[in-house]
Chain A
Amino acid sequence: MKILKTLVFLGMLLATGMAGATALSSYTFDSKEEEQAFRDFTAELRCLVCQNQSLAESDADLADDLRREVYTMWRQGRPQEEIIDFLVSRYGDFVLYDPPLKPSTYILWFGPFLLFVAGVVVLMRTLKRKNEDREVELTEEDKQRLSELLQDANENQDSKI
């Protein structure tokens, strides 16, 4: 699944890391990179008792317990997929900020593409039509009528002011 998603979104999966981080000060890591990777990983997990906060930044007790559990698994060298599977089996997809790709979420993942494609189709058709539209040529009669109308309009306007 992960591979498919990566293929679908090319390089876009490279996380941008907009979320913050918290009290990892009591955890030890082998390197700065590992700490950052752990932070990025927990930033995509939802704190279940908070309003809308990730596990990386929540100070709630429950978040702290879960973070510790994730940290233990992480330090045991279990792969991320396995940790995710474990969390999902316990808490459901709700715990993942990045919704998984599976039949029930196809609409979430591919809906926007359909929207985009539909938009482009409408755009193309409009452009084509507008491109083929003819500029309306005014006949002599039309022009005369137009200038009369404009005259009227101007007089009206003056009287209003």
Chain B
Amino acid sequence: MIPEIGHFALILALCLAIAQAVFPLAGSLNNTPSWVALARPLAWGQALFLGIAIGALTYSFLVNDFSVSYVAYNSNTRLPIVYKISAVWGAHEGSLLLWAFFLGAWGAAIAIFSRHLAREVVGRVLAVMGMINIGFLLFMLITSNPFERMFPIPAEGRDLNPLLQDPGLALHPPTLYLGYVGFSVAFGFAIAALIGGRLDASWARWSRPWTTVAWVWLTLGITIGSWWAYYELGWGGWWFWDPVENASFMPWLAGTALMHSLAVTEKRGAFRSWTVMLALLAFSLSLLGTFLVRSGVLTSVHAFAADPARGLFILIFLLVVVGGSLALYAWRAPTIFGGGRFDLISRESFLLGNNLLLTVLTFLILFGTLAPLIYDAMNWGKISVGFPWFNRMFLMVTPFLAILLGFGPLMHWKRTDGAALMRKLRIAAIVSIVIGLIGFWPAISNGSLLVPLGLFLAAWLVTSLVVSIRDRLKHKRGLGGFLSDFGSSGGRSYYGMVLGHLGVAMFILGATMVSNHGIEKDVRMAPGESAEISGYRFVFDGVTRTPGPNFIANRGKFRVFRGDDEITILEPEKRTYLVQQMPMTEAAIDWGLTRDLYVSLGEDLGGGDWSMRLYYKPFVRWIWLGGLFMAFGGILAVTDPRYRSLKRKKKQEAPAGAAAPASLATENN
């Protein structure tokens, strides 16, 4: 019964999405306010029914309803409750449902936080989001229904893929999807603006916080994903340029470019058509990413999709969305003029440079990801494009980006005095060059030119940020000065930017160190033996069999010594999940800010001997800390008081009742 309610809710959500796509848009074009006014209730309704649908699926998981084939294939009576919930989005059908639900939720968020906005605009934005959800709901109902029943009903489920039975994976898809779907808001605004022909600073100011919030989620999603891959896959790496990883990285790059470009459009009215283009690009890449992953086209390079109907649907949907939006852009964008002039040395031109490099990176990764498909399709032979190619191309572009980034925060709009800028940055440049030169010292460089480069860039980012903060606070003294600046309008935006850029520096440092100083060792040990890497001695105390809820583990015990001090005990596991009979390594990690010690258990070689891998990973945490800093910077920026001044104004003018919504929206003047 409950699954049928979920199924029915999906169908109702589709009906509402169709209405939401048609009436508000049509009403905004033929001046029928009553049609436009439908947008908000419809958005609410859609979020509600999609909520019911996802609730019904969760319920089916919790009560082990194996008559639902999605549940039967992805759950088991012995699966811990947490993973029963995360199994909801653990496979194809459910993750599509999560996607659609988030789209509904973002729609409802717009309905709440946009009361001050012109109704036509809200109507159009919600109409565009309705159109997108039509695509997703149709896709689900036609090819991938999560509520499909199966007969005969199996007595026991097939269990969730053991790789996914992990807290990292419980969090990774929802955060990533919130980011992907969040860009649909920016997309909706761009389309609405193209239709209405109004693309001004207020448009930019309004889409800015939404874009930043989506970007924050995507940043968190990618960070969590990388961290999960690091500890769960037992390979000690954090990024492999796998197509699935690239699929999330491309919209992130485009979204990063979009955030910066929106700043110019808001403050200076320039780059308007470019900003719109980036908004279209960021969401198109999100869609492409979702579908590349979901269709299986990239995991198995040989077949377009496991199910040809799915593949075809995906292809058509992508063509409609990307083609349609590009056609609209080609038709309407030439009518968009604007922006004042600016000098060669100005914040505008540097942000344009940032945009150029980010876009080049995006297309580069897109190209490398799709190249095997293109070669296959054109009969040019089968090729692989892997991490050596990506690393090389990536490293060609990113140093320029990092150098520009150091200048950016110190630039003025319109015109910057080049000589004064050089004076300000002189010390920062000297310090970072010296640090870079120190990096050539063999003990530090470890024979790689990338170490001095990485150290130089990280130092350059940090020192130039320090100069920027000093410049900003030059008329304010002490902690009080800082706090008053922090609380001022625009203060949190600025410090959010500082944190975000600091995150980039941390990432560069972490990636440089772990890539060039990481040590790994494959050893065979018998109980009582020990092995040493980088001054740490691992004493192997043997393996014991330990049962878990739905698996049996061989748990190894290692005592780790530094000199004569025992610093920690590591207990890596090799698990065999009972249902799928799949072996899984569960690495044990002693983490620290300057290094991780990482042990992963290999094979039982008989007679108590085991093979195992030991890793020494210096500064690897800085990679994800950098990601968290970037995300936190974004959060700080959207909580800036200037985005809330409207709320205050409303409260002052309507003191009785009518609690103003906690608006993300921007001031009107």
- Which residues in A have some Cβ–Cβ distance to B below 8 Å? 9, 11-26, 39, 44, 46, 51-52, 54, 57, 92-99, 104-105, 108, 111-112, 115-116, 119-120, 122-123, 126-127, 130-135, 154, 157, 160-161
B384→A95 contact, CB < 8 A: yes
Which of B235, B363, B388, B516 meets A20, CB within 8 Å?
B235
Known contacts: A26-B524, A130-B349, A133-B341. The answer to whether A93 contacts B387 by CB under 8 A is no
A–B complex contacts, Cβ < 8 Å, 13 sampled: A12-B395, A16-B395, A16-B450, A20-B237, A26-B611, A93-B383, A108-B383, A112-B396, A119-B356, A119-B357, A119-B359, A135-B341, A160-B116
CA distance A51 to B518 in the complex (A): 25
B198 within 8 A of A: no
Question: A17-B515, A52-B240 are known contacts. Are A112 and B340 too (CB-CB below 8 A)?
Answer: no
Chain B residues near A119: list those with CB within 8 A.
356-357, 359-360
- By beta carbon, the residue of chain B nearest A120 is B356
Q: Determine if A18 and B343 form an interchain contact, defined as CB atoms under 8 angstroms apart.
A: no
Q: Is the CB of B384 within 8 A of A46?
A: yes
Which of A21, A108, A115, A132 contacts B522, CB < 8 Å? A21
**Contact between A19 and B448 (Cβ–Cβ < 8 Å)?**
no
Please give the distance in Å from A136's CB to the nearest CB on chain B.
8
Q: Which residue of B lies closest to A51 (CB)?
A: B299
Complex CA distance for A98 and B391, rounded to whole angstroms: 10
The 8 Å CB contact of A98, one of B234, B348, B359, B388, is B388
Point out the residues of chain B lying under 8 angstroms from A21, CB to CB.
235-236, 520, 522, 613
Q: Which residue of A lies closest to B378 (CB)?
A: A104
Q: Is B412 an interface residue (CB 8 A)?
A: no
Q: Which residues of B contact A127 (CB under 8 A)?
A: 344, 349, 352
CA distance A99 to B374 in the complex (A): 14
Q: Is the CB of A94 within 8 A of B235?
A: no
Bound CA–CA A52/B237 (angstroms) = 14
In the bound complex, do residue B342 and residue A130 qualify as a contact, i.e. CB atoms below 8 Å apart?
yes
In the complex formed, the residue of A with least CB distance to B533 is: A32
A123: chain B residues at CB < 8 Å are 352-353, 356
Is A22 touching B389 in the complex (CB atoms < 8 A)? no
Distance in angstroms from B368 CB to nearest chain A CB is 8
Contact B235 A19, beta carbon cutoff 8 Å: yes
Q: Which residue of B lies closest to A113 (CB)?
A: B396
Give Cα A21–Cα B391 distance, bound, in whole angstroms.
18
List CB contacts (< 8 Å) of B637-656 with chain A. 649-650, 653-654
CA distance A85 to B328 in the complex (A): 50
Given A93-B382, A116-B360, the answer on whether A22 and B602 have CB atoms closer than 8 Å is yes
B380 at the A interface (CB under 8 A): yes
Select one of B342, B344, B363, B516 contacting A115, CB under 8 A: B363
A20 and B360 contacting across the interface, CB-CB below 8 Å = no
Contact residue among A20, A92, A122, A160 (Cβ-Cβ distance under 8 Å from B382) = A92
With A20-B613, A25-B523, A25-B611 known, 12 other A-B pairs at CB within 8 A are A19-B235, A20-B235, A22-B522, A22-B613, A26-B524, A94-B383, A96-B383, A115-B367, A126-B352, A130-B270, A157-B668, A161-B116
